[in-house]
Amino acid sequence: MAKGRQLIGQGKYLEASEILNKLVFAQPRNQPAKDLLASAYEQLGYQKESPTLRNIFLQGAFELRNGLPPGVPPNSGGPDTVRAMSTEQWLDFLGISIDPRRADGLRFTINLVTPDNGEKFLIEMSNATLTNIKGQQAAKPDLTITLNRAELNQVMMGAATFDGLVQTGKAKFEGDRKPFDQIRCLLVAFAPNFEILPGTAAKPPVHSNKAFEVPDLLPPDSAGD
């Protein structure tokens, strides 16, 4: 704390933030330390020409002093946003949503085909990582999934499920569906209202999303389905 005040007094705000940041992470309920770090962040924010960097520092300073703003996070999109996402972007989203600890040791390949827009993807699980290659297909995949991109939009919004589409004949699974079930069990739902710094947010209510949906594109009344 004393060194942090000294550095701030000397205008060495970045150096001050380096040591005060570690203190705040070690003691998330130490409000005097959080106030001091907020002062350093505030000055760093004022000095940044980039709006993005400025907003990051000022948001951190705000949370340190006032806590995370309460309320439901804004809905960032809807059906139009989902339709604007490429299939590749959605598959990348699934990739970053995989829990690598639970995926350790799994290996499989899936071919995804969307006939209405002529797209094909090779999806591979290896080294605890889910990757995809557009325009490629595995010669001997463990599973091939075929459905129109229009139907995939409904899955991405949480308005439909793959199983429901298979039952109505709008999607087709060929091969071993075990890899599909494994992916569904490996997905981790992200909440957009995360805290920038520790100790600034109350514990959020826990709810589960439908597998494969894009959480922050959901209508407000479907988040708990």
83-113 pLDDT per residue, tens? 788 999 999 989 999 999 999 999 999 999 9
Min mean pLDDT across 73-77, 108-112, 136-140 is at 73-77
Q: Average pLDDT, whole number, for the chain?
A: 87
Mean pLDDT of 36-61: 95
Q: Which of 7-16, 17-26, 66-75, 124-133 has the least mean pLDDT? A: 66-75
Among the listed residues 225, 212, 208, 218, the one whose alpha carbon sits nearest the alpha carbon of residue 81: 218
- Band of pLDDT at residue 74, cut at 50, 70 and 90: low
Residue indicated by tokens 């505030």: 42
Share of the chain above pLDDT 90, in %: 71
pLDDT of residue 219: 39
Looking at the chain, the domain(s) classified CATH 3.30.1050.10 span 79-186
CB contact at 8 A, 40 and 9:
no
Q: Does residue 72 have a pLDDT over 60?
A: yes
**pLDDT at residue 221, as a whole number:** 40
CATH number for region 2-66: 1.25.40.880
Beta-strand runs (E) in the chain: 108-114, 119-126, 129-134, 143-147, 171-175
pTM over 0.75: no
Range list for CATH 1.25.40.880 in the chain: 2-66
| Confidence band of 215 (pLDDT split at 50, 70, 90) | low
Residue 118 has pLDDT above 50, yes or no: yes
Beta-carbon contacts of residue 214 (< 8 Å; ≥ 6 apart): 82, 85, 90, 93, 156, 157
Please give the pLDDT value at position 225: 37
**Contact (Cβ atoms closer than 8 angstroms) between residue 92 and residue 110:** no
How confident is the model over 141-151, as pLDDT tens digits?
A: 999 999 999 99
Q: What is the CATH number of domain 79-186?
A: 3.30.1050.10
Distance CA 30, CA 24 (A): 7
Decide the pairing of beta strands 119-126 and 129-134. antiparallel
Question: How many CB atoms within 10 Å of residue 153?
Answer: 17
At residue 68, the pLDDT reads 80
